[in-house]
Amino acid sequence: MKKLLDLTFIVSMTFFHTGCSKSDDAPVLSSEVPAVYKKIYGATSITSDGNFVYIKTKDLPDHKSPYYPSTNALYEAYSGTTFAGKAFVKNPNSIIEQSATIKIPLNPAINASHTATPLGPIGIALNGVPFFNQYAGPNQPLTSEMESFDKYYGHPQQSGVYHYHVEPLYLTTVKTTKSGLLGFLLDGFPVYGPKEENGTDVTNSSLDVYHGHTHATVDFPNGIYHYHFTTEAPYLNGNGFYGTPGTITQ
């Protein structure tokens, strides 16, 4: 079997380690947290100090995957097609519970330096799974890794960090919609699906080089800069963060 390895594990191990707390912990919300962050249902806790929002996660996807151990209730063998019509080929890794805290600005703002997104986690999805950028390794496209994405377009790297590089299909087809809020990047700006709220497809040509644009959304009626997933590279993020990124720590 072709061996598929995600080189981002080297970076991710800095941010994640195997957790040992119970997997059914309910989210804990402080009174200072805006209501929109309550949509991150996969967090184990969400708090704020008035400047940043702190989101804790175990990175356990709430959907079935062949990357769960066969003894897990969410294990499901898969042999179909995946992103870009590729035939699925399972990589040798397995989902391992993590323990991480994502710190993002409560009031995100543009940063003229637009720092590049790193390998490893660059944001968090509503189900507590991290977003990764468009690379399998330093300047290496995802082309050869796409076949290892499961039917919901995610996969784990060598230290067991399950993640999405492309549209998180479980969220866009089961939990919300193709135009719905899907999560946040580390700079605090929200991430939306591959369609606008009026049903039109989002294409790279309608986004800036950071893979986003500004207008009102259901969640932010006064307007906000936000990212979109698209079917073409860079899928989620282009030349860097639009704002100043926060951090991910153990």
The pLDDT of residue 139 is 87
Say whether pLDDT at 3 is over 80. no
Backbone torsions φ then ψ of 151, nearest 5 degrees: -70, -15
Q: What are 23-40's pLDDT values in tens digits?
A: 445 566 555 899 999 999
- pLDDT more than 90, % of the chain: 85
Span 62-104, pLDDT tens digits: 999 999 999 999 999 999 999 999 999 999 999 999 999 999 9
pTM of the shown model? 0.90
pLDDT at 247 > cutoff 60:
yes
3-state helix, strand, coil in the chain (%, to 5): 10, 25, 65
Residue with tokens 């800069």: 225
> How many domains does the chain contain in total?
1
Distance from C-alpha of 217 to C-alpha of 26, rounded to nearest angstrom: 28
Calculate mean pLDDT across residues 172-190: 98
The 10s digit of each residue's pLDDT in 108-132 is 999 999 999 999 999 999 999 999 9
DSSP H or E stretch at residue 225: strand 224-228
Evaluate whether 226 touches 189 at the Cβ level (below 8 Å): yes
Q: Which two tokens stand for residue 144?
A: 């050869």
pLDDT digits (tens, 9 = 90+) for 36-63: 999 999 999 999 999 999 999 999 999 9
Beta-carbon-side half-sphere exposure of residue 8 (alpha carbons within 13 Å) = 31
Q: 43 with 61: CB under 8 angstroms?
A: no
Domain range enclosing 119 = 1-250
Please state whether the peptide bond connecting residue 118 to the residue before it is cis, i.e. omega within 30 degrees of 0.
no
Decide if 45 contacts 28 (C-beta within 8 A).
yes
Q: Please report the pLDDT score of residue 191 as a whole number.
A: 98
